[in-house]
Amino acid sequence: MSEQERTWKCARCGVPLKNTRVIFHYMGRDFGHEVPACPRCGQVLIVRGLAKGRMAQVEELMEDK
């Protein structure tokens, strides 16, 4: 089962996560991305593909500036 096919639940609240647009802050810059988040407490899940893919690319670009 792939990461996209899983139904993730919040470890704290026990409710299913819902895709939510979240604003990330890094090195004084902001960027948004839709990620699974708990609708109750707001805890987000960063899946491996996002962390090693797009987020790593953004970090590299920002650190090179």
pLDDT at 21: 95
pLDDT at 9: 96
d(CA 58, CA 65): 11
Compute and round to an integer the Cα radius of gyration of the chain.
13
pLDDT at 65: 61
Q: What tokens does 61 get?
A: 């670009």
- Domains of the chain: which residue ranges? 18-64
pLDDT at 4: 55
pLDDT tens sequence across 1-59: 555 557 899 999 999 999 999 998 877 888 888 999 999 999 999 888 887 777 667 77
pLDDT at 62: 67
pLDDT at 5: 59
Angstrom CA distances, 4 to 8, 18, 19, 54, 55, stand at: 10, 12, 11, 16, 17
CB of 9 closer than 8 Å to CB of 18 = no
